[in-house]
Amino acid sequence: MGQETITRAVNERYAKAVMTGEEMCCPTGYDHEDLQAFIPQAVLKVSYGCGTPVGLSTVQPGETVLDIGSGGGIDCFEASRRVGQTGRVIGIDMTDEMLALARTHAPTVAANLGYAASNVEFRKGQADAIPVEDGSVDLIVSNCVINLAPDKSNVFREMFRVVKPGGRFTISDIVADQPIPHYLLEDREKWGDCLSGALQWGAYWGNLRTAGFLGLHQVHMLPWRVIDGIHFLSVTLTGYKLPPHPPASTLRFATLQGPFRRVVDERGNEYIRGNPVSIESSTSHLLKSAPYTNHFVLSESPVTLTKEDSRWSAVFPDEAACIWEGHFALLTGPFLEVEDDDSHVFRCGDSHEICSKTLKVLRSKLYSSHFAIINRAQETISPQPGSCDVSGGCC
Ligand SMILES: C[S@@+](CC[C@H](N)C(=O)[O-])C[C@H]1O[C@@H](n2cnc3c(N)ncnc32)[C@H](O)[C@@H]1O
């Protein structure tokens, strides 16, 4: 299907949804009671997101927030509350009916918030040609929209163009664990259902990185649907546009604390747990951002960590046989590559079959935020202990 056909199908689908108020898409994490206090029911009814707009929890008063695919305006109105009267919110959407609904209710929301005038503006536009000036936005949010855009690379390039140096994005979207086959790519209905346009995990991450974003990492993940063995996941992810020339840093060394034995950051620097590595100012700036910062000691002179140091961390597998139960792990950033204490190497975006012992390691508190874990076993299985070394080594 050509790009124009996809855009028309999606446009018609959402224009119809506004009229019928049908229920669509995926679980979100809103506190509806809280939102009802200032957002009209007509807006809440057409909430078609697929995640918790956690990005909004980082909003500071006075900031400028852009919502790509703002729909009925739910996230814009919540952003309006958080940025306060001195802040500004821009919602863009390509569907006239959605824009009309959002614009109708903007004055009511402003009055409910006690604002003299609305600080939200809804503009008509496409996600791959965002009608916003270069470098003017502090935070980009988007809730279940980018999968609907036929050309994601252009969307990510546009996001990078409009965000300020030092700005960030937090988006919720649908991704898949496998490439989408042609019979789904050619299905107009399933495009509108947020399925056919889902990118594979690695491609999504890769395109964001190519656009220039760094510090890419998953904030939240929910398995959503399985169709013909393809797992569709609702993910919320964050990334940063770092300033091109950050101020010089005196922190010239980084020592990996763990829990990984070895990692590679997004600039290609490799770190072995406990050993100091000399870093440039730009890398120091990157490693100060969350969640990198939780894994490193940054210092002015080299710091070596030993196992006895309280900052050293590791998670070892049980001394037991491996049992294969259909689990696969995907590294979700921000590292390009990590290695655990059993020599398993995980690369960002690749899925890796894991046994019960590794599953336990990756689900531990120190590891879990870096991985998405799915189970591909479709039928009832009879797992048997496998051939791992019971002294603790693993597959
Ligand atoms: C699934 S709804 C989500 C709406 C809103 N973010 C929410 O959470 O309720 C998708 C919205 O994105 C808009 N949309 C889809 N593709 C778009 C594109 N390429 N450019 C701009 N808007 C788009 C649709 O018109 C629709 O309002």
Which tens digit of pLDDT belongs to each residue from 77-128?
A: 999 999 999 999 999 999 999 999 999 999 999 999 999 999 999 999 999 9
Quote the tokens at residue 258.
Answer: 């763990």
Q: How far apart are CA 217 and CA 47, in angstroms?
A: 25
In tens, the pLDDT along 245-272 reads 888 889 999 999 999 999 999 999 999 9
β partners of residue 276: 255
Single out the residue of 143, 221, 219, 228 nearest to residue 179, CA to CA.
228
Amino acid at 346: F
In tens, the pLDDT along 28-40 reads 778 888 999 999 9
Percentage of residues of the chain with pLDDT beyond 90: 78
Side-chain half-sphere CA neighbours of 231 within 13 A: 20
What is the predicted pLDDT for the residue at 391?
Answer: 56
Per-residue pLDDT for 390 more than 70?
no
Quote the tokens at residue 274.
Answer: 């406990």
Quote the tokens at residue 144.
Answer: 């279940």
Which among 23, 148, 189 is the best mutation to test ligand 1's pocket, defined by most ligand atoms within 8 Å of the CB? 148
- Ligand 1 atom index nearest CA of 25: 1
Residues 356/325, Cβ–Cβ less than 8 Å: yes
Reported as a pLDDT band with limits 50, 70 and 90, residue 342 is very high
- Ligand 1 atom index nearest CA of 95: 25
Q: Residue 206 CB: number of other CB atoms within 10 A?
A: 17
Closest residue (by CA) to atom 27 of ligand 1?
Answer: 71
Which of the listed CATH numbers 3.30.360.10, 3.40.50.300, 3.40.50.10490, 3.40.5.100 matches domain 245-314? 3.40.5.100
Residues 221/162, Cβ–Cβ less than 8 Å: no
For the entire predicted model, the pTM comes to 0.94
Closest residue (by CA) to atom 25 of ligand 1?
Answer: 95
Per-residue pLDDT for 166 more than 80?
yes
**What is the rounded average pLDDT for all residues in the chain?**
93
Per-residue pLDDT for 389 more than 70?
no
Reported as a pLDDT band with limits 50, 70 and 90, residue 388 is low
* Angle, alpha carbons 206-256-214 (nearest 5°): 25
Ligand 1 neighbourhood includes 91 CB (under 6 angstroms)? no
Beta-strand relationship, 120-124 and 199-200 = unpaired
Per-residue pLDDT for 377 more than 70?
yes
CATH number at 317-395: 3.40.5.100
Which residues does 224 contact at the CB level (< 8 Å), separation at least 6?
Answer: 26, 27, 50, 174, 232, 233, 234
Does domain 3-240 match CATH 3.40.50.150?
yes
Q: List where CATH 3.40.5.100 sits in the chain.
A: 245-314, 317-395
Single out the residue of 204, 247, 234, 288 nearest to residue 296, CA to CA.
288
Quote the tokens at residue 110.
Answer: 């402003």
Ligand 1 neighbourhood includes 79 CB (under 6 angstroms)? no
Q: List where CATH 3.40.50.150 sits in the chain.
A: 3-240
Q: How far apart are CA 179 and CA 165, in angstroms?
A: 33
Tell me, what DSSP letter sits at residue 348? B
Reported as a pLDDT band with limits 50, 70 and 90, residue 308 is very high
Task: Return the SS3 of 376.
Answer: coil
Q: How far apart are CA 225 and CA 217, in angstroms?
A: 22
